[in-house]
Amino acid sequence: MGGYGLTYTDISDNILYSGKSYSVSNGDLFDICNDTVTTVLETILDYLNDFATDAPCLVKVSDTDDVCNYLFNKLESTDNSVTITKNSITVANVTTETVNLSVAQNSSSVVLYSDIVSVTRTTTGVYDTYSIPQATVAIGDLIEIEGVIYLNGVNVNGTFSNRLRINSTDIIIEGGPTPKATYIKFNCEFIRKNTTDIYIKSRYSLDYDPTVNQQSSEFFGGITTTLTVPDLDNNTLPITLDTVISGTGFSFDFNYMIIKHIKAI
């Protein structure tokens, strides 16, 4: 019997086929050269029936996934670090949908150190210190350091300096003989550039006593530079806040220091 692109002869209910070769071993639906007519037709009908039944069910994660669903319903973020949203646009009655994946900018922010216990200092010494553990700061990560020191009863005959130090290097130095300020607030941040270099930016501000000075506050530059430190993958990074006092009558109230780690995204 001849047909469109197909000729066969019934021999023991097998199909002799002269068209395109299909083989189950190649991942095709059936082996048209060896299956019976009944087997081929049943396979086709089962496939069409399953396709009609599973038409809304077009996505599987893998071959072993037994539950189909829409793509949007197959995506998840178990730690909520990725926000998954669906966008829909309809033009000329044709709707196009896309799935948007975005990382929350604040999801990787971690407070490494927080000291909010007020301590009064009247002599030279360390206010506070913390060492960032090794293998904590990756290349591109940001470290933010912030603190406040209150000044009380400064002796006009003495001098002082407050220092924020990173790996024993002075980053912020604020001092003088007679500061008429109520508190010092400092901010410092650095980014790890490579194995041994960090890029630092810092500044501090003085809040003045309005009965003595016209301005209420003033900002000062600290340092903007690249600092070479030991390999942070294998070494800690010490951060120290201390003061050097010469004279009597000085009183400093250390208020707080916070160190925050923001991972590169």
State pLDDT tens for residues 208-247: 655 655 555 666 666 788 999 999 999 999 999 888 877 7
Q: Identify whether the C-beta of residue 208 lies closer than 8 Å to the C-beta of residue 216.
A: yes
Residue 179, classified by CB atoms within 10 Å of its CB into exposed (0-12), middle (13-18) or buried (19+), is: middle
Residues found in the chain: 265
Give the whole-angstrom CA distance, residue 207 versus residue 185. Answer: 8
More confident call, 135 vs 156: 135
What SS3 class is residue 138? coil
What pLDDT, on the 0 to 100 scale, is given for residue 127?
82
Domain ranges of the chain: 1-55, 109-262
Report the percent of the chain where pLDDT is more than 70: 67
State pLDDT tens for residues 71-80: 888 888 776 6
Specify the DSSP element, H or E, that contains 51: helix 37-53
What lies within 8 Å, CB to CB, of 211 at 6+ separation is: none
Residue 58 above 80 pLDDT?
A: no
Tokens of 227: 């600092």
The per-residue b/e assignment along 107-123, b for 16 or more CB within 10 angstroms, e otherwise, is eeeeebbebeeeeebee
Q: Check residue 36 and report its DSSP letter.
A: B
Give the whole-angstrom CA distance, residue 90 versus residue 128. Answer: 60
109-262 — its CATH code?
A: 2.60.120
pTM for this one? 0.56
Local confidence band at 3 (pLDDT 50, 70, 90 cut-offs)? very low
